Amino acid sequence: MLLFAAISQIPAMLLFKPYLNGESYLNVFFTLALGLIAIRFYDTCKDKKVGVTLVILTSIIADLIHTDYGMLGVLLISVFYIFKNDKMKMAISSVVLILLNYLVNITSFTMANLTQITYQLGLSLFALSSLILILCYNGKLGKSNKYIKMGFYLFYPIHLLAFYLVRVIFG
């Protein structure tokens, strides 16, 4: 059901892409939807080599339609899922993916474009931080009360508002 919901949104998302946020990249929800599709492909294939091939093809699609995090995002989601029971393999494969992505991206820029190189470094470090959080998860539900729950619900819109205000103030 969730897979169908994700797939059914892709044509509409691509149709309205130019109007979404004024940028050339689709937001992270597109990456998450394609990551879910990649995981589903992997799970439904009896031959895991075919499953991995479909994961790679899905990640290439993410790059072609310019989602946030592109190919790296879908591959990391898939690696986190495939190696969910082996944290060492998850960590090693994630670090290798992140480093390869960084090296591929910085080789396409000239040293004169320091801003883009710095951006890629920041993206890589941010991706590594997600690995730290995932490796620390013990599989158990943590503390929960109405204040913590409300904090999580409010965090996303408040941080977007903060980014907007910084953009307006500092241009």
The single-letter code of the amino acid at 84 is K
- The mean per-residue pLDDT over the stretch 142-152 comes to 84
> pLDDT for 27-84, tens place per residue?
788 899 999 999 999 999 999 999 999 999 999 999 888 888 889 999 999 999 999 9
Q: What angle do CA 69, 75, 79 make, to 5 degrees?
A: 135
CA 137 centroid distance within chain? 18
Q: What is the pLDDT of residue 101?
A: 83
Q: What phi and psi values does residue 67 have, to the nearest 5 degrees?
A: -85, 160
Does residue 45 contact residue 54 with C-beta atoms inside 8 Å?
yes
User: If residue 147 lies in a helix (H) or strand (E), which one and from where to where?
Assistant: helix 146-170
- The mean per-residue pLDDT over the stretch 72-98 comes to 92
Name the E strands within 41-147.
none
pLDDT grade for 153, boundaries at 50, 70 and 90 = confident
Question: Domain-by-domain residue ranges, the chain?
Answer: 1-81, 83-140, 143-171
CA 112 centroid distance within chain? 28
3 state SS of 138: coil
3 state SS of 12: helix
The single-letter code of the amino acid at 106 is I
Question: Residue 162 pLDDT more than 80?
Answer: yes
Residue reference for tokens 């619900």: 153
